[in-house]
Amino acid sequence: MAVSSSKQSFDICVSGSGIVGKALALALSRDGWRVAWAAGLDGSLGGEASTPQREDVRAYALNAQTVALLQRLRVWEGIAPHATPLHDMRIEGDAAGHLGFSAWQQCVTELGFIADAGVMEQVLAEALRYAPHVVKVAEVPANVPLWAICEGKHSAQRTQLRAQGQVQFERQAYEHWGVAARLTHTLPHNGVARQWFFASDTSPDVLALLPFHAPQPGASYGLVWSTPPDNAKRLVAMDAAEFEQALHARLAAGQPEADQPWHSLKLVSSVAAWPLACGCAKPWVGPGWALLGDAAHLVHPLAGQGLNLGLGDVAALVRVLHEAREAEPWRSIGDERLLQRYERARWFDTQAMLTLTDSLVHLFGNANPVVRDLRNMGMNAVNGLGPLKRWLVNQALGQHDFSSTGHP
């Protein structure tokens, strides 16, 4: 990766220093496009492989489609040692409802992987250092044919497009914040992820424990806890002993399995919290610009599909541009009609995930006893329907991957 000079020209500018922006810049480079990477426009440090100022405690669930993209970008071998295979998923309702998914039932090696967010950032940044055709720039070059905006949920460029009347963004704030931390346990996790839904008038929560590799191999978890803002702020302010006590008390209300003494969970990191929302831009594209990742859509983290959706955007946009270059070399890559092919390719999957996660949030946030009994009965019914369970897991695994051309 080089530093820009005033004489250079580019095909595409990618703004955004997160995982989606890095992956897009790398994928475009591998496909031969001349890429300007405006890493600092989202207010970050540009994603260089250096020691972060704050501990990153995020953990991402990666589906098969995402892993395939990372393999094509030749970065998976650097991420895989820090990713934990997910073999089973066990979901507990708030009134004896249960839903379980297993790799064995799906006839796959694993349901996905739980990966370290910080490692993914660093591996992609390192790959970009040696990527041909990628030049780091301080601002969007003039007259660049296509501007791909991957700046996350606080995208200043999307805000600018919205102010100009080119984009609408319907954002719905949840009355929940996300809380993330790293934990260790006295027993091995065996590649099993667990999730609890708690519905009550005082604190309707969703809590997930994701099997993780560090700091204790085979016995660590990434915590993702969706909880009301006041409780989230209290959790962040607690010391380790207070936090563990609050976590143990919450899990005790979920009637966990007898063979898992959750009181042995220990906090081994800082605790992060952020407000949760869902939303979707309309449109995602216009003359010479396209939105990807959280700049285009936001989903609740309860299904662990946010990053998968963003990297699905990357695969789709690169495929559309590659096919147009092969079949329609006369067409500008910033042509709005061309970019609409990318939006159409991603619209169904994104809307389906938005609808699913939003419906689950509201369904399990309802403390009405009748609704509670019905949703738990529904969980148990789905758990007994093998074909429906397999279909649901196939959607989450990304096994309907559209990028069959082999191009990232």
Complete DSSP assignment for 60-99: EEE-HHHHHHHHHTT-HHHHGGGEEEE-EEEEE-SSS-EE
Tokens 């609740």 correspond to 300
Position 245 scores a pLDDT of 94
Position 81 scores a pLDDT of 94
d(CA 57, CA 221): 11
Q: For the stretch 65-92, what's the b/e string if a residue is b when 16 or more beta carbons lie within 10 angstroms of its beta carbon?
A: bbbbbbebbebbebbbebbbebbbbbbb
- 322-367 pLDDT per residue, tens: 999 999 999 999 999 999 999 999 999 899 888 888 887 777 776 6
Before 145, cis peptide (omega within 30)?
Answer: no
Where the chain has pLDDT below 70, the residues are 1-7, 41-54, 95, 200-203, 254-260, 366-367, 372-373, 376-377, 379-408
- What pTM, to 2 d.p., does this model score? 0.87
Phi and psi (nearest 5°) for 92? -115, 130
Q: Nearest Cα to 93, choosing from 395, 378, 392, 385?
A: 378
d(CA 225, CA 355): 20
Query: 218: phi > 0 → left, psi -120 to 50 → alpha, else beta; which?
Result: left
Other CB atoms within 10 A of residue 97 CB = 22
- 13-36 pLDDT per residue, tens: 999 989 999 999 999 999 999 999
Position 247 scores a pLDDT of 94
Strand order in the sheet with 112-116: 59-62, 112-116, 83-86
Tokens 């209290």 correspond to 234
Domains along the sequence of the chain with CATH = 2-172+275-397 (3.50.50.60)
Position 380 scores a pLDDT of 67
Tokens 């989230």 correspond to 232
Query: DSSP labels for 333-400?
Result: TT-HHHHHHHHHHHHHHHHHHHHHHHHHHHHHT---HHHHHHHHHHHHHHHT-HHHHHHHHHHHHTTT
Q: Which residues contact 272 (CB under 8 A, 6 or more apart)?
A: 57, 58, 179, 180, 181, 236
Q: Which helix (H) or strand (E) holds 404?
A: none
Query: 192: phi > 0 → left, psi -120 to 50 → alpha, else beta; which?
Result: beta
d(CA 114, CA 86): 7
d(CA 31, CA 325): 11
d(CA 42, CA 17): 7
Position 290 scores a pLDDT of 96
d(CA 64, CA 395): 10
Position 318 scores a pLDDT of 97
Q: Check if the beta carbon of residue 26 is closer than 8 Å to that of residue 75.
A: yes
Q: Distance of CA 40 to CAs 15, 23, 154, 290, Å?
A: 8, 16, 13, 18
d(CA 267, CA 352): 35
